[in-house]
Amino acid sequence: MAEVRHIDAEKLTASERTRLASAVHRKPRFLIIGAGRRGTAYASAVGREKLPAIIAAVADPIRSKRTSFGKKYIWKDEAPREDQDFDSWQQFLKYERSRREAEATGEKVYAGVDGIILCTQDQTHKEILQAFGPLRLHVLCEKPIATTLRDCEDIYISLGGAKSPEKIFSTGHVLRYSPHNMLLRKLLLEDRAIGELVSVEHTEPVGWFHFSHSYVRGNWRKESTSAPSLLCKSCHDIDFILWLLCYKTDFGEPVHMPSLVSSMGNLSLFTKRRKPKAAGNATNCFSCSHEQNCDWSAKKMYVEKLYDKGDRDFPVVVVVPDIEEIIAKDGTEHGRAVLTQALSSDYNASTPTATIESKQWYGRCVWESDNDVLDDQIVTLTWDDDSRSVSGKEFPDRGPKTAVFHMVAFTEAQCERRGKISGTHGEIQYNSKEIRVYKFDKFLKPEEVKIFTPPKAAGGHGGGDGGLMNGFSKAVEASINGELSVEEAQAKYVGCTLKEAFMSHAMVFAAEEARLERKIVDWQDWWAKLEQRLLS
């Protein structure tokens, strides 16, 4: 076993950091908690993009997922060691405490991890982050950080947000890190391609299938067990808007935060009163006479359109997590039968409500589900003119402006965001593939309208997953090797402070308060009261 050294870079001088970096430079080691889609996205980025990181361990309760993950990213063709394979985060905590105790007595032990990458269900984040707090590890937490404002506050305080954080923190605001969006921001804030910003219209088309799978039948269907869809699905869209309109590329300039927040929305379709009469009392697609004529048939979606055509990754693997093992062992026909059985699983009037609410029924009638999250919502942010009120200096892009965000379920596009940005000298239109820059003098020179097509990046969210993992890995690498302080590494590589991440989550909760109470929220006052509570 390797002997481990722990170094507190914060206590080193600049010259000591330089000498240390050249002497014992190493890649940071990470534990991934949750071997699902998000954990896999970050792990795959390490090898694909040759990032300065080592995926050292995994914790997940589903053995088949954990084994598949470990073979791909950790132990490969060898048997897993005791420090690599854990059936729960609690098991890892127990192991790590024992490992550190043994190390403290001089015993040779396996190297520990420098950070965790948390990819479990949203509602578990607070418990896990607080349990790991005493280990003082760097953290990448999948978005949202937590499902309630109070839990976000508690995490923010426990991670040192009210003072200077001791470790790197990043969250899954992947839209900041895609090559497409980084170019868009450069055009807006550095090149000033359309002058001063005036307004933004940004849309997240969730997609008809994705919404029915995740937000009607799936994990995020109820606010009481997950959170509002604006938080679960679109908190990184709100962060994206703030990233464009609040924070300049010059970190020395104070942020220009909105003054007013409002929101409205509906659960438009997936309610019992909208159920087709032909569906009768059916609660499952496999026992419904209307199924063949239904847009939302689980049989058509999961079996005929995906499984039968060889597409057995997401979302089929969500319905049957060990589908790959089943197919490998017993063949595709048996796999189809298992999938069909899982989808046709149903309940009746005698089934306890607690039992119904405790699981996901992916074959369930979409009009009989217990979902209550919105499928259509608009958020409006308004900025006041304070271009001359910051420290007596005049700054550009601090004039009055407006942003409108639209989250909508009923779209052909699946999460392929689009928008328009108006400026004093032109307009930008963007989608997931290109950025079109039009200037007001172009009616004289129409051939000079510029189309930018950023190179297509591998990985999810247009390369944002890999970009986020790259920034987090480099920040932790610089910190553990004494090259930069935590604050410096956070600014240089993550580009987002813990406070900014928390603030964009808070903006979502302010928007929800505005919607539920049918009012306009004064953001400056709302945030001031929240900060006061954090300090008390």
212-223 per-position pLDDT tens digit: 999 999 999 999
**364 within some domain:** no
**365 within some domain:** no
Determine contact, residues 117/32, Cβ cutoff 8 Å: yes
**367 within some domain:** no
Domain that holds residue 305: 272-357
290-337 per-position pLDDT tens digit: 999 999 999 999 999 999 999 998 999 999 988 988 999 999 999 999
**362 within some domain:** no
Give dist(CA 1, CA 6) in Å, integer: 16
Number of domains, the chain = 3
Q: Is the pTM of this model over 0.85?
A: yes
C-alpha angle 460/127/315, rounded to 5°? 30
Give dist(CA 368, CA 376) in Å, integer: 19
**210 within some domain:** yes
219-262 per-position pLDDT tens digit: 999 998 889 999 999 999 999 999 999 876 554 567 889 999 99
Asked if residue 169 and residue 73 are part of one domain, the reply reads: yes
Determine contact, residues 501/77, Cβ cutoff 8 Å: no
Q: What is the CATH number of the domain that holds 381?
A: 3.30.360.10
406-433 per-position pLDDT tens digit: 999 999 998 899 999 999 999 999 998 9
Asked if residue 505 and residue 471 are part of one domain, the reply reads: no
**Nearest C-alpha neighbor of 478 from the set 47, 53, 38, 2:** 53
With cut-offs at 50, 70 and 90, classify the pLDDT of residue 454: confident
Asked if residue 287 and residue 233 are part of one domain, the reply reads: no
Helix (H) or strand (E) holding 534: helix 523-535
Backbone angles phi, psi at 18, to 5 degrees: -60, -45
Asked if residue 219 and residue 199 are part of one domain, the reply reads: yes
**Nearest C-alpha neighbor of 99 from the set 17, 11, 29, 12:** 29
Q: Decide the pairing of beta strands 435-439 and 450-452.
A: antiparallel
Q: What is the DSSP string of 213-229?
A: IIIISSTTS-TTTS--H
Give dist(CA 405, CA 507) in Å, integer: 13
Asked if residue 168 and residue 263 are part of one domain, the reply reads: no
Q: What is the CATH number of the domain that holds 81?
A: 3.40.50.720
Burial class of 176 by CB neighbour count within 10 A (0 to 12, 13 to 18, 19+): buried
Asked if residue 218 and residue 116 are part of one domain, the reply reads: no
Asked if residue 250 and residue 332 are part of one domain, the reply reads: no
